[in-house]
Amino acid sequence: MNLLVWNCRGLGNLRTEKELGNIIRAKDPSVMFLAETWADEARLDRVLHNINFDHKWEVPSGRRGGGLVLFWKRDVNVTIEDSHRYFIDVTFDKNMEAEWRFTGFYGEPETHRRMEAWNKLRGLNNRPSISWLCAGDFNEISRQDEKMGGVLRGHNQMQMFRDVIDECGFIDLGFEGPKFTWSKHFSDGHSIWERLDRGLANSEFLLKYPGAKVSHLRSMSSDYVPIFINLSGLETPPKKKVFRFEEMWLSDSGCGETVEAVWRNGEEGDILKKIEKCSKDLEWWEKNCFGNVRRELEEKKKIASKS
């Protein structure tokens, strides 16, 4: 299973929807947690349909913005445990051997209220010990080197975040890709970059998914980058192009010559290898030798259809 976690900064923007679709096609996540949706239920239903997911659970946006949603596909077994404006907490494959827990988290954006979010996260650390992954935009850094530009972050502010990480027994999963997940650029030329988004997991999760990998992607529509969590750590292989024989190839002698050459020179009796090589050689022949013939045939068809 793969998960996509992103502070998309509004799903009403067509540019954001388009970028989300591109990410889904490239990464094929089974579950998506999105923060700051700024969207009502009707709009989320439209997005659900457009991205070809099957189910959703939403936390509505309020007067202060926000809004969370979890999308998942039909073949994923999800039990919603709890939700709040700071999180959506679910169990996958509940009461089964493969059971594990995921919390999509969104930290309080206002510094003076951040302890509210940390207390909510502490409150989630009260269930029996199972594999637990918590990921999202925490709106906080844990060390000074997770920020570049602007004023230094206060020590106590970072310590409160580190404390809740320790109390929940979390370990940072690290990342691949750009270091910072959020940036802000000002008209006078200076910028601020911070690592606000991350994946945290307990030791049970790390034992269950030792190859889990977090990747920081890129975004053109939000000041936050999406993070992609691959539980196996293995890249999804590209879909193999299906070979299809075209009848018009028979109009050129090169087609038959290609097939005869493969059958004559291939290993005796190994039919499967001959078929595989034949398809590859025909694809090469079609691309490099048959192109002009195809164009002539198509031109003749056009002329015939007009007469």
SS3 179: coil
Q: Where are the CATH 3.60.10.10 domain residues in the chain?
A: 2-230
Query: Per DSSP, which regions of 202-239 are E strands?
Result: 213-216, 227-230
Amino acid 255: pLDDT:
78
Rg of the chain, C-alpha, whole Å: 26
Tokens standing for 210? 């030792």
Q: Name the DSSP class of 224.
A: B
Amino acid 294: pLDDT:
63
Amino acid 297: pLDDT:
64
Hey, CA dihedral for 109, 110, 111, 114, is it positive or negative? negative
Other CB atoms closer than 10 Å to residue 186's CB: what's the count? 10
Say if residues 145 and 151 touch (Cβ distance below 8 Å).
no
Amino acid 292: pLDDT:
64
Closest by alpha carbon to 219, among 3, 4, 49? 4
SS3 5: strand
Amino acid 265: pLDDT:
74
pTM given for the model: 0.76
Amino acid 122: pLDDT:
96
Amino acid 252: pLDDT:
76
| pLDDT tens-digit map of 68-89 | 999 999 999 999 999 999 999 9
Please give the Cα distance from 130 to 201 (Å, whole number).
11
Q: Averaged in consecutive runs of 10 residues, what is the pLDDT profile of the chain (307 residues)?
A: 95 90 95 96 93 96 85 97 97 95 97 96 89 98 96 96 97 96 93 98 94 95 96 61 71 78 67 74 72 65 67
Please give the Cα distance from 160 to 280 (Å, whole number).
60
How many residues in total does the chain contain? 307
Q: Give me the torsion for CA of 7, 11, 15, 19, rounded to 10°.
A: 50
Tokens standing for 287? 């691309």
For the structural domain made of 2-230, what CATH number should be given?
3.60.10.10
